[in-house]
Amino acid sequence: MAKGIEIRAAHFPGRAPIDTYGNGGFRFADMSHRGSILCLPSGIYGWDMDMSKPLSTENFRRVLDEADDIEVLLVGTGTELRRLPEELKQALKARGISSDPMSTGAAVRTFNIMLSEQRAVAAALIAV
């Protein structure tokens, strides 16, 4: 029996700077992704997140699972700054991750600089 189109979770296996952002997505490594992304040591992943969803520990599970390789997590919260809930901050801190929420644009710029410095940085970027 023939299969239809197979939809796989979006994943780029590597670290790459973000070339551009806006219009609901991101461009990196000569590719584009519509929607939010997680930039982790194991790669760049599509992230089912938008500005209406809570910044909860559950929504950051993949980040917490890779905590051994992350020192700083930049959280691009969209067009407006959102505070990280105390529960999420504590979960990150317990795994040795310093967290810094900021607008998505500021997070992209900071991520690119820290990545070029070979820092143990990750980013959770909500699309704008």
Domain limits of the chain? 11-125
What pLDDT is stored for residue 9 in this prediction?
Answer: 63
* pLDDT at residue 4 in the model: 53
| Domain over 11-125 is classified CATH 3.40.1230.10 | yes
Positions in the chain whose pLDDT score sits under 70: 1-10
Please give the pLDDT value at position 13.
Answer: 81
pTM, entire model: 0.91
Q: Which pLDDT score is estimated for 49? A: 96
Residue with tokens 């929504």: 59
Residue 11, pLDDT score: 73
- Sheet (strand 121-125) strand order: 11-12, 43-47, 36-40, 121-125, 72-76, 98-102
